[in-house]
Every structure is written in structure tokens, then in C-alpha cells.
């Protein structure tokens, strides 16, 4: 959730801190991809094959989308909309006691508060999108050949 937190704090901190949050999140993607690839490699008898390569690609794409790209964009837009709405309410004098500091913290709070609500829907959407696209090309699981009478 590093980049989601970074996006929620974007209005508070220098942009380099937000960029750093994406570096941290990308490190998680790389580590998880390496882990999933290693598991498939071991399951394949320590042989590099199409199933290992596909596990690597699948994990890299899924984690990139579900852990970095889509959540980051979602929190960014939620915070943008919250800031826009709060500033419009201030301009129309609907909110009269809200200063810039309070506005920034409200935007950050809305961004942080929305994180738990976006995770499940994003994960399900990315799974569905990948099941209908990339995963359709997954290598078939090799079935052991059986010969009658070999007991």
C-alpha cells in the first residue's frame, strides 16, 4: 500500500516522496514476482520452462496492475476530486472555517480512508481482466501419461 499512502499524502509532501512510495511499491512487485517464479521453478523440478516463464509474467503483470498502477491512479483521482470539491465548497461559502491546512488534511484523510474500500474491487477487476486476456495463453498443465497394466 506504499504508493496509495504516497498518493494520499501528495497534497502534503514534495512530489519526490510520492515517487519514492512508487519505488517501494515496485520493490514489492519485484520481490513477489521473484517469489512466485521461484515457487514455479521448484515445482517444475528446478527446470526453466514455459510454465515458469508464464508464472513470472503473470505475477509481474498482476502485481503491477493490482498493487501499483490501478490503486495509485484511483487514490490520486479520489484525492483530486476531494480537493476540488472542498475548494468549491469554500468558494461558494458552504464551508467557511476551513483553511488550507485543514483542506490538505481532509484530502489526505479521504485518500487514506478510501484505501480499504478500493482493494477488493481492484483485485477482482484485475483478476477478471487477466483471466479474459493474458491467462488465456497460459501453458497447459502437463498430465502424467498412464499406461494400462503398469502397476
Q: What predicted TM-score, i.e. pTM, was given to this entire model?
A: 0.87
Average pLDDT of the segment spanning 129-139: 95
Model pLDDT, residue 140: 84
The ranges assigned to domains in the chain are 3-130
Q: What is the mean pLDDT of the chain?
A: 92
94 backbone dihedrals φ, ψ, rounded to 5°: -75, -40
CA–CA separation, 100 vs 87, rounded Å? 9
- The 10s digit of each residue's pLDDT in 34-88 is 999 999 999 999 999 999 999 999 999 999 999 999 999 999 999 999 999 999 9
Model pLDDT, residue 142: 60
Amino acid at each position: 500500500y506504499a504508493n496509495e499512502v504516497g498518493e494520499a499524502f501528495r497534497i502534503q509532501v514534495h512530489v519526490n516522496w510520492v515517487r519514492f512510495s512508487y519505488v517501494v511499491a515496485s520493490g514489492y512487485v519485484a520481490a513477489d514476482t521473484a517469489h512466485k517464479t521461484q515457487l514455479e521453478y521448484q515445482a517444475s523440478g528446478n527446470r526453466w520452462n514455459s510454465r515458469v516463464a508464464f508464472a513470472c509474467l503473470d505475477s509481474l503483470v498482476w502485481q503491477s496492475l493490482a498493487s501499483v498502477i490501478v490503486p495509485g491512479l484511483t487514490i490520486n483521482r479520489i484525492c483530486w476530486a476531494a480537493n476540488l470539491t472542498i475548494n468549491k465548497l469554500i468558494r461558494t461559502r458552504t464551508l467557511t472555517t476551513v483553511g488550507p491546512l485543514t483542506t490538505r488534511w481532509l484530502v489526505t484523510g479521504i485518500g487514506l480512508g478510501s484505501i480499504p474500500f478500493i482493494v477488493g474491487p481492484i483485485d477482482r477487476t484485475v483478476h477478471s481482466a487477466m483471466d479474459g486476456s493474458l491467462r488465456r495463453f497460459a501453458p497447459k498443465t502437463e498430465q502424467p501419461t498412464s499406461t494400462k497394466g503398469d502397476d
